[in-house]
Amino acid sequence: MVAQFLVLAAVLFCIGVYGVLARRNGVLVLMSVELMLNAVNINLITFSAYLRETSGQVFALFVITIAAAEVGVGLAIVLLIYRNISSPDLDQLDQMSG
C-alpha cells in the first residue's frame, strides 16, 4: 500500500533523470526537472499519510512554490540563451571548451 506510491514516485523520478540527461532543448530539460520535483511531492504526501503528520504536506507546498520560482528563473535563462546563440539547445553552449 505504501510501497506502491513510493515505487510510482521512483519510476517518475527515474524518467525525469533520463529526460535531463537525454534532452537537448532547454525547455524540455526544465520539464524533466518538474517531473523529478513532482515525484518528490508524491513521496512527501505518502509519508505524510503513513506517519499521520501534517509536516509532509507543508513541505510539499513549499516544494510546489519553489518549483514555480525555479521555472520562472529557468525559463528566463533559456530565453537569454536563445537570444545569445539563436538556439535553445543546451549542447551548443560550448564557448568554454577549448
Smallest CA-to-CA distance from 1 within 36, 40, 51, 50 is with: 50
Contact between 85 and another protein per CB under 8 A: no
Label residues 33-56 b or e (16+ Cβ within 10 Å = b).
Answer: bbbbbbbbbbbbbbbbeeeeeeeb
Q: Across the chain, which distance is largest between two alpha carbons, in Å?
A: 55
Interactions with another protein, residue window 6-65 (CB under 8 A): 6-8, 10-28, 30-32, 34-35, 38, 41-42, 45-46, 48-50, 52-55, 57-58, 60-62, 64-65
- Using CB under 8 A as the criterion, which residues of the chain lie in contact with another protein when the complex forms? 1-8, 10-28, 30-32, 34-35, 38, 41-42, 45-46, 48-50, 52-55, 57-58, 60-62, 64-73, 75-80, 82-83, 88-89, 91
